[in-house]
Amino acid sequence: MNAGRLRADVAGRIADVLAGAAAPLTDVYVGWTAAHEAATCPARYRGQGEDGWGFPGWSPVLAAGACGRAALAHHIARADLARRPPPMPVPLVAIRTWMQALRSPPEPGRPAEERSSVGDWVRETWEAGDTATLAAVAATAGRWLAGFVRVLGWPLPPQFTLLNAPGPAAVPSLRWHPDKASPVTVACGADARMGRVTGAGGFALAVHRVSTGDDGALRERAAFESAAGALAIGVPPASVLVTAGDTGERVTLPVDEDLLAQGAERIVGVVTQRAVAVERGFDPADATPSAACRHCDRLADCPPGQGWLAAAGRWRGGLPVLSVLPPG
């Protein structure tokens, strides 16, 4: 499927969903997290309410990859300014240097890449005095960066471009809107592109994770990012490389019609659930219990989730779920 056909197909299906909604939708952000949540437990996704539909905002876990990419882009830009090849980054030093640059006044000759959404969040967190959160973010981002270099090697592969990172050493963001007036934003969350974008494709998208996930989620992730990437770039990638830093694993998934169709399904699925939410909001009748119940804000209102967690051998928050013993 070429990207033009994919764009027309997804835009048409999204337009149908929007036209059938009980009320106009506003600000529907379709990234991997929303796609995964809408597919795994629609009830939970719909229950996130008004705050859940746009960009979800930064948290220490979500910010780790973005901080790692921004710090790496900053590291490369500094070396470019000094007209020398970038040395292999020392992860925590690179993160700290980038965070310090965010808080420093502008200087002549300083890379201008510090402006970014995650950079603004780090600066605000610092100004709020929340150094504990910043330390947690730096630790996870350092782990992300260490794994990135471990799996992809240093120097980075030829024709390598960082994605979704600020500055001249990267492409700032991969977004697609079905049309100018659409409330829907589709965001490709790939970390890097390898190879040049040509009409024939021939490039790969890289998705780097700190740790491994199950193989089902791995294919789901590749499907979503390949479709979102094809929509945003205008050419489908030839493959998606999914990596895990802690184990050094890397899996290449070729992009074919089936993978793109699966990704398109997930993208349209988010908008569909958002349209259903206008009428029904959270409804435990659509609950799909899984390990996600352990961390779900809706658990108190969700009998299927409670039932799943009450089964033998379930854990919650790192501790086994125990039944309360009667007094005496």
By CB under 6 A, the residues from 41 to 60 that bind ligand SF4 are: 41, 43-44
The stretch near ligand SF4 (CB under 6 A) out of 147-155, 182-190, 192-200, 300-308 is 300-308
Residue nearest to ligand SF4 (CB): 305
Residue 230 within binding range of ligand SF4, rule CB under 6 A: no
3 touches ligand SF4 by CB under 6 A: no
Question: Helix crossing, 3-20 with 257-280: angle to 10°?
Answer: 10
In angstroms, the Cα distances linking 10 to 3, 173, 182, 220, 289 are 10, 20, 13, 17, 29
CB of 285 or CB of 322, closer to ligand SF4: 285
> Applying CB under 6 A, which of residues 65, 68, 167, 305 lies at the interface with ligand SF4?
305
| 299 makes contact with ligand SF4 (CB under 6 A) | yes
CB 239 within 8 A of CB 253: yes
Q: How far is the CB of 309 from ligand SF4 (least distance, A)?
A: 8
Three-state secondary-structure class, residue 15: helix
202 binds ligand SF4 (CB under 6 A): no
Asked if 302 is part of the footprint of ligand SF4 (rule: CB under 6 A), the reply reads yes
| Min CB(20)–ligand SF4 separation in Å | 24
Q: Which two tokens stand for residue 137?
A: 């973010």
Contacts of ligand SF4 in 136-155 (CB under 6 A): none
How near is the Cβ of 299 to ligand SF4 at its closest, in Å? Answer: 4
Give CA–CA dist 225/320, Å, rounded: 35
Is residue 207 within 8 A of residue 243, CB to CB? The reply is yes
Q: How far is CA 235 from the centre of its chain?
A: 20
Which residue, 18 or 43, has its beta carbon nearer to ligand SF4?
43
> Taking the C-alpha atoms of 118, 112, 205 and 138 in order, what is their torsion angle to the nearest 10 degrees?
-40
Report residue 324 as tokens.
């309360």
Among positions 22-41, residues that touch ligand SF4 (CB under 6 A) are 41
Question: Quick one: 41 or 165, whose CB is closer to ligand SF4?
Answer: 41
- Min CB(44)–ligand SF4 separation in Å: 4
* 304 binds ligand SF4, rule: CB under 6 A: yes
Minimal distance in Å, beta carbon 300 to ligand SF4? 9
Distance CA 204, CA 149 (A): 17
Calculate the dihedral angle through the C-alpha atoms of 195, 157, 214, 133, rounding to the nearest 10 degrees: -110
Provide the 10 A C-beta neighbour count for residue 305: 24
Q: Of 230, 254, 274, give the one whose Cα is nearest residue 29.
A: 274
Binding-site size for ligand SF4 (CB under 6 A) equals 14
Told to check if 192 binds ligand SF4 by CB under 6 A, we report no
Task: Report CA 231 to chain centroid distance, whole Å.
Answer: 16
Containing 31, the helix (H) or strand (E) segment is: none
Q: To the nearest whole angstrom, how small is the minimum distance from the Cβ of residue 189 to ligand SF4? A: 22
Q: Which residues would be at the binding site for ligand SF4 (CB under 6 A)?
A: 41, 43-44, 287-289, 292-293, 296, 298-299, 302, 304-305
